[in-house]
Amino acid sequence: MVKREYYLMRSLINTGLKRCVLFFVLLLSIFGVVGSVSLPNWILPRLESMLSNELHRNVSIKKIELNPFTLQAILHDGKINDGKITFAKFKSLTLDVEWSSLWRRAPIFNEITLLEPQLNIVRINDHQYNFSDLFVKNNENENWPDFSLNNIRVVKGLIKFDDKLLHTQQIFSDFQLALPFISTLEHRVDEYIQPSISGKINGASFNVAATSKPFTRKKETRLSFSLDKLDINKYVNYIVFPNELRLLSTQVSGKINIVFNMEKNNSKLVFEGPLQFDNVNIEQAKKPFVKINKLTLKLKDFEPLAAKYRFAGIKIDTLDMVLEKALQLVNQSATPSKSQAKMLLDVGHFQLINSRVTYQDLVFDAIKFDVRGFVNKGNKTLPVRLAVNSPYGEQLLADLSIQTQPFSLTGKINASKLKLTQYSQYLAPYFKGEISDGLLDVETTAYLSINPLVYTLKNTEIGLSNLALQQTKKPILKINQLAIKSLELDSAHKFINS
């Protein structure tokens, strides 16, 4: 009796398991058929319609293959037509999506392969291309979106550039690209391809290979680019700058490393190395604005996709700037934008030497400015030194300590032989007459905070010599010598003491 029940129970279990397995196989089969046959046919017209609306161009795709089990999609014979002209096309685009995209709510691709892409670029006029409408600025979304693109391949690419303005054509052919990743997310896949770039520019071949450190604690691969006084005059016409700025000329030298760091649980794209710009010439509204003899940038852990801009050093040698109005150095908005709040700017050492600034009729030369350890995040005190001369023998020296958040500064300021006639238009509201002569010397220890606005002067010495005021070209006041010692001023307590 017991054996009979045992065999009956086993038979029922085996029958149930077989039915479950058959049901599961049937379910997977239906899912596979629907996912690989019906779903692509349903997606194709909707994808074409969506892309056509977004790009304002006719988009067509011949066929979509979809594997619902591996989340791999292959788009065949894609084409983007701008009127009767083909703007772009490709033979196939393979997208290998990761399941983690679902719970991370961001596109994460394990592999992307673009086969035989072709792109036709037309420059219509000075600032307009046949793709300009695709890059309309949207101030509401300034941050990079979350994404992770891994194992990116471009095979047999072709780019044709037709410059209608300069009546020239450039052809970028046999373009091969392999990149391990481009990502704004902390994400890592199991295997990465070796980076490389190759192709032909107007028939001339180039090839950039990579070097790897696979057995170090931090696995990394580097792409290195060396430049030696590359004259970019041929290319500046294609760069559009804001506020009517225009880069007239410069030569670029340096060695930049593009570093793909493959860490244990993360991957980072980092730029490192020195860049030097010689003979920089910039104009604004077709008027001289900035000339720089030598600008040196030393990139260190520079991560543009993560909005982390780190410099070991920035050095400007022989700046000549012409200003018709004061620069707006502080953002008028009290609330920073999302991109500004996220951005990290880290400058180990900033130097400005042998420089000159012309503001209306005022000329300041032999300018030296030195800041160490600037970081826009956190509360940090920076040592700042400033030295300025003028053609009239004036001199300004400042040795300051600046606190970044909240902003405040304190330190010694020494101004000597300031020629008051040079600043008469700024001093006019404080005098009934016109300043016709006079020299001013000031030495003080100053403190200034912005929010709330508080300022103090301590141990202040003021010397005034040969001051002369006139009204309707008639002398009204002369002071040969005036000295004020041990002056103290405190805006918070509203007192002046000498």
End-of-domain residue from the set 154, 182, 208: 208
Is the separation of the CB atoms in 122 and 87 below 8 Å? no
Percentages of the chain per state (helix, strand, coil), in multiples of 5: 20, 60, 25
Tell me the whole-structure pTM to 2 decimals: 0.72
**Domain span including residue 429:** 407-498
Do 128 and 175 belong to one domain?
Answer: yes
Q: What whole-number distance in Å separates Cα of residue 441 and Cα of residue 419?
A: 10
Q: Pick out the chain residues at pLDDT < 50.
A: 1-2, 6-7, 12-13, 16-18, 21, 23-24, 28, 31-32, 139-140, 214-216, 329-334
> Minimal CA–CA distance to 59: which of 49, 67, 69, 46?
49
CA 274 to chain centre: 17
What does the pLDDT read at residue 180? Answer: 83
Do 194 and 266 belong to one domain?
Answer: no
- The dihedral through the CA atoms of 133, 138, 142, 148 has a sign that is negative
What does the pLDDT read at residue 204? Answer: 78
Residue 373 lies in a domain: no
End-of-domain residue from the set 181, 208, 235: 208
Residue 7 lies in a domain: no
Residue 16 lies in a domain: no
Q: What whole-number distance in Å separates Cα of residue 434 and Cα of residue 468?
A: 8
**Radius of gyration, CA atoms only, the chain:** 33
What does the pLDDT read at residue 58? Answer: 93
> Minimal CA–CA distance to 229: which of 256, 198, 211, 254?
254
What does the pLDDT read at residue 156? Answer: 93
Do 196 and 229 belong to one domain?
Answer: no
Do 265 and 192 belong to one domain?
Answer: no
Q: What is the DSSP letter of 431?
A: -
> Minimal CA–CA distance to 142: which of 345, 377, 378, 341?
341
Do 307 and 204 belong to one domain?
Answer: no
Strand ranges for 360-453 from DSSP E:
362-375, 381-389, 395-403, 408-419, 434-449
Q: What whole-number distance in Å separates Cα of residue 492 and Cα of residue 390?
A: 34
Is the separation of the CB atoms in 319 and 282 below 8 Å? no
Instruction: Domain count for the chain, please give it.
Output: 3
3-state secondary structure at position 132: helix
What does the pLDDT read at residue 387? Answer: 94
Do 199 and 232 belong to one domain?
Answer: no
What does the pLDDT read at residue 249? Answer: 86
Q: What whole-number distance in Å separates Cα of residue 310 and Cα of residue 472?
A: 57
Is the separation of the CB atoms in 271 and 297 below 8 Å? no
Q: What whole-number distance in Å separates Cα of residue 292 and Cα of residue 320?
A: 6
What does the pLDDT read at residue 114? Answer: 94
Do 179 and 269 belong to one domain?
Answer: no
Q: What whole-number distance in Å separates Cα of residue 159 and Cα of residue 200?
A: 10
What does the pLDDT read at residue 304? Answer: 85
Do 173 and 250 belong to one domain?
Answer: no
**How many residues in the chain?**
498
3-state secondary structure at position 309: strand
Residue 344: phi and psi, rounded to 5, are: -115, 125
- Distances in Å between the Cα of 390 and the Cα atoms of 277, 342, 358, 495 are 27, 40, 10, 33
Residue 203 lies in a domain: yes
Residue 375 lies in a domain: no
- The dihedral through the CA atoms of 36, 38, 44, 47 has a sign that is negative
Residue 268 lies in a domain: yes
Residue 251 lies in a domain: yes
Q: What whole-number distance in Å separates Cα of residue 63 and Cα of residue 90?
A: 12
Identify the bridge partners of residue 235 per DSSP, sorted by sequence position. none
Do 155 and 233 belong to one domain?
Answer: no
End-of-domain residue from the set 182, 208, 234: 208
- The dihedral through the CA atoms of 291, 296, 300, 301 has a sign that is positive
